[in-house]
């Protein structure tokens, strides 16, 4: 069970998620013949719902395949995806071929960079891997995924959802939600940071952004996740600013995604400062969902899941007290709190003894270890910020 922090690598470091095989029954698409057409992918229950290969093909008829040259994609990932999709190119074929040709003519070093740092293969993420957020997960399923997976059942929609804004405090699971969407759609996952584009990659940011969208079209179905989107959309720019070119490229790419009737690319953006997004640019996000702090049940699940991986001596009452005292914490805050507490038994043990010590010889984690961490640990969000998210959600968000 993964906690819902925005920084996936942090949670991997804390070892809060169980390793799951891509061949696990949890992720294996059921035989479409075993599901009646009227019920496939439409269970309103927010628990785990494997997506049938039939339904996935409705999102994209494009095959997963390695592009030429091979650096444009991940061959192992292509082999895995080819099992789930039809060999017919379908209506997206022309878009795929056009994107391939553009990538072939692009700077090979940029393509390599996008393949290595933006395209992010990984194990599938299931809804049950995300603690809490039941209303958010239900909204994503009903308003985003189901129309994409079963467009025949949503023929009344003028356009399919192509873009989504996830906003709220940092560390609440927006990245993990985007990864889960990609898994449910059988799509590749690409991740960009707007902050990195305007700092680390500013000189090549426009080209990297363009190559990322091209990669998404080549590898579609694809989910392209862009974090800190307000950094680009809110910038006050001079005529010669390199960020202005980057912002213009982003808006052009979003226009292309929103207007395309054949591309199977979903753009998911996240923001911890949605109030900075100009009014005129909010229209680029057909859906805007608040991802709130974890409630008591979610915090209890995070804490108990972690403690179960260690030797501990906390009573039920003490665990309930931890849940109470972490009110106002993000999922990432709770994870960091637990991490510092569970390593406390290691403190003071000489390195010479630690190297030969068996785990059973360590003292169990106690409530006092958490108490010591609370003394120096504070949540990263203020009540003023929480009130701002609530108000912005009332005015511009989608009701949940």
For the chain, the domains span 8-290, 296-380
Amino acid 239: pLDDT? 60
Q: Among 32, 55, 3, 95, which residue's Cα sits nearest to residue 298?
A: 3
Q: Which CATH architecture has domain 296-380?
A: Orthogonal Bundle (1.10)
Amino acid 223: pLDDT? 96
pLDDT in 10s for each residue of the chain, 400 residues: 444 444 443 333 333 333 333 333 222 233 333 333 333 332 333 344 444 444 444 444 443 333 333 333 333 443 344 333 333 335 567 778 787 777 787 788 888 888 888 888 889 999 999 999 999 999 999 999 998 888 888 877 767 889 999 999 999 999 999 999 999 999 999 999 999 998 888 888 888 999 999 999 988 899 999 999 999 998 776 666 778 888 889 999 999 988 887 788 999 999 999 999 998 899 899 899 999 999 999 999 999 999 988 889 899 999 999 999 999 999 999 999 999 999 888 887 877 777 778 777 788 999 999 999 999 888 888 999 999 999 999 999 875 4
Q: How far apart are CA 332 and CA 132, in angstroms?
A: 13
Q: How far apart are CA 301 and CA 386, in angstroms?
A: 22
Amino acid 353: pLDDT? 76
Amino acid 399: pLDDT? 53
Q: What CATH class is the domain 8-290? A: alpha beta
Amino acid 245: pLDDT? 84
Q: How far apart are CA 67 and CA 216, in angstroms?
A: 12
Tokens of 236: 């006050």
Tokens of 291: 């991802």
Q: What is the DSSP string of 18-50?
A: ----TTSTTTSPPPGGGS-TTTTT-----S--P
Q: What is the pTM of this model?
A: 0.75
| Residue 383, CA distances (Å) to 265, 294, 298, 329, 363 in order | 36, 15, 20, 11, 37
Torsion of CA 380, 383, 305, 4, to 10 degrees: -70
Amino acid 33: pLDDT? 36
Give 43's contacts (C-beta < 8 A, 6+ positions apart). Answer: 49
Q: How far apart are CA 356 and CA 29, in angstroms?
A: 45
Amino acid 145: pLDDT? 93
Q: What are phi and psi of 168, to 5 degrees?
A: 145, -175
């Amino acid at each position: 069970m993964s906690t819902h922090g925005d920084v996936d690598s942090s949670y991997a470091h804390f070892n809060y998620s169980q390793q799951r095989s891509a061949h696990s029954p949890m992720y294996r698409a059921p035989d479409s013949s075993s599901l009646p057409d009227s019920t496939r992918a439409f269970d309103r229950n927010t628990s785990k719902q494997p997506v049938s290969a039939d339904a996935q093909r409705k999102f994209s008829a494009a095959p997963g395949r390695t592009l030429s040259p091979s650096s444009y994609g991940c061959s192992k990932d292509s082999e895995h995806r080819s099992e789930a999709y039809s060999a017919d190119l379908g209506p997206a074929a022309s878009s795929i071929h056009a994107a391939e040709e553009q990538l072939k003519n692009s700077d090979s070093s940029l393509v390599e960079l996008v393949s290595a740092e933006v395209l992010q293969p990984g194990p599938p993420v299931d809804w049950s891997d995300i603690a809490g957020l039941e209303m958010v997960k239900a909204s994503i399923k009903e308003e985003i995924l189901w129309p994409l997976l079963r467009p025949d059942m949503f023929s009344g929609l003028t356009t399919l959802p192509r873009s989504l804004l996830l906003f709220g405090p940092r560390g609440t699971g927006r990245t993990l939600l985007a990864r889960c969407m990609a898994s449910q759609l059988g799509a590749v996952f690409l991740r960009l940071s707007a902050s990195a584009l305007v700092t680390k990659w500013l000189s090549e940011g426009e080209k990297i952004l363009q190559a990322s969208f091209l990669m998404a079209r080549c590898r579609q179905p694809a989910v392209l996740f862009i974090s800190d989107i307000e950094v680009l959309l809110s910038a006050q720019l001079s005529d010669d600013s390199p960020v202005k070119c980057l912002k213009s490229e982003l808006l052009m790419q979003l226009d292309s995604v929103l207007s395309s009737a054949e591309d199977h690319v979903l753009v998911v953006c996240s923001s911890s400062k949605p109030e900075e997004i100009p009014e005129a640019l909010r229209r680029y996000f057909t859906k805007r969902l608040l991802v709130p702090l974890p409630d008591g049940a979610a915090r209890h699940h995070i804490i108990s899941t972690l403690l179960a991986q260690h030797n501990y001596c906390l009573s039920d009452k003490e665990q309930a007290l931890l849940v109470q005292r972490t009110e106002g914490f993000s999922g990432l805050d709770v994870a960091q709190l637990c991490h510092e507490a569970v390593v406390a038994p290691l403190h003071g043990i000489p390195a010479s003894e630690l190297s030969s010590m068996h785990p059973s010889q360590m003292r169990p984690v106690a409530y006092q270890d958490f108490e010591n961490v609370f003394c120096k640990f504070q949540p990263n969000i203020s009540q003023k910020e929480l009130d701002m998210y609530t108000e912005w959600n009332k005015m511009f968000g989608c009701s949940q």
